[in-house]
Amino acid sequence: MSGPLDGVLVVDLTRALAGPHAGMMLGDLGARVIKVESPGSGDDTRGWGPPFVQPESGDRESTYFLSTNRNKESVTLDLKDDGDKELLRELVRRADVLLENFRPGTLARLGFGTDVLADLNPRLVTLAISGFGHDGPEGGRAGYDQIAQGEGGLMSLTGPDPDSPQKVGVPIGDLLAGMYGAYGVLAALLERQRTGRGQVVRTSLLAAIVGVHAFQGTAWTVGGQVGRAQGNHHPSIAPYGLFHCRGGSVQLSCGSEGLWRRLCAEFGLDPETPGLATNSERVGNRERVVELLEAAFADVDAETLLARLAAAGVPAGKVRTIDEVYAWDQTLSQGLLVDVDHATLGPLRLPGPPLRFFETTPDGETETTRREHAAPPVLGGSDAEIRAWLARPGA
């Protein structure tokens, strides 16, 4: 299937992760995404590794780059060259969306400020992603994910204890900024149907991280309580977290008093134990809850424990390694792996898009999810085709 954004043209000037992730999301939805890269080197992530595929050959590709650039074409343009600048102007004239994640002010210095872009194409939707925002006292700061995780408070909430701040295991600020950016682009395209005009959508790594503070944000802004890292247990629900058992561990969640009672019934515990009868009490006595449950689980291996929790109706799960996730039949059933044919590497299996689409009728559902995906492009892989297309007036 072509996807809901079929017919939308995206010009992707971004590099590294936040912007390319937004571009990949739009490509997954069926947009035509033309990735503009610097001649010779291309996107920074082409050199990020190991691991690389075919590291000894001239066709070496970074697995990092492969993770965030499917469903795109690549054209190389030198934005300091007058001829290539004119090609970019022509791309902008034809585009629906432009993505950029330069430092604030950089694109304007190259001759493509928002006023110029609006003059070239009044219907253009521009997404600008920065590190800390395009304005404000620190608007010009360079943004890298781990720095933003620290500055945005996320590391203070992550880790085994308040004295051991820990980054998330993936560049979550970059990924969230890309997701928020794609979401903003879709909203701006929808509004353009009413107004006939495009607009600029701005987000940043800082904004994306603050945007997911969730209950930790209101704990401070409303409740005056500063959240702190406390390992693998929830700050507002108990029991909810990772618990050790014989030879391993499991995770479980009792998000209601009914689930607490089911858990206690399965393992012979008294749900009305003084100090543990309500969620608030259990949160205040979390260490006691953990000790109580881990004592009950001490002679039960992980697989048996998971089976008993499932039979009792208590939500639970294991902690899988990455290879286990991609071998799991549930992962495969959700279309989270896709097969593509790369121009130099041949057949590849990549992580797939997280959305599925269905048409519904009185007779049932028909899945319309896009099935065919394009491999991430080699550097300049579409140079000849795109340059020829731009040279044709009215094409």
Element (H, E) at 82: helix 82-94
Distance CA 299, CA 290 (A): 15
Is 115 catalytic? The answer is: no
β-strands 61-62, 52-53 pairing: antiparallel
Catalytic residue among 135, 174, 301, 341: 174
CB 62 within 8 A of CB 48: yes
Distance CA 363, CA 56 (A): 55
Please spell the DSSP secondary structure of 153-193, one letter per residue. TTGGGSSSSTTS----SS-HHHHHHHHHHHHHHHHHHHHHH
Element (H, E) at 251: strand 248-253
CA angle 101, 151, 26 (to 5 degrees): 30
Distance CA 127, CA 188 (A): 10
Element (H, E) at 89: helix 82-94
Helix, strand, or coil (residue 29) = coil
- For 77-114, strand residue ranges (E) read 97-100
Phi first, then psi, for residue 375 (nearest 5°) are -70, 155
As a 3-state breakdown, the chain gives helix, strand, coil percent values, each rounded to 5, of 40, 20, 45
**For residue 301, is it left (φ>0), alpha (ψ between -120 and 50) or beta?**
beta
CA dist list (Å): 345 to 37, 55, 57, 212, 322: 20, 11, 11, 37, 23
CA dist list (Å): 368 to 76, 114, 365, 371, 372: 33, 36, 9, 8, 12
Residue type, 178: G
Please spell the DSSP secondary structure of 362-384, one letter per residue. TTEEEE------PPPPPTTTTHH
* Cβ burial, residue 67 (10 Å; 0-12/13-18/19+): middle
Instruction: Tell me the catalytic residues.
Output: 174
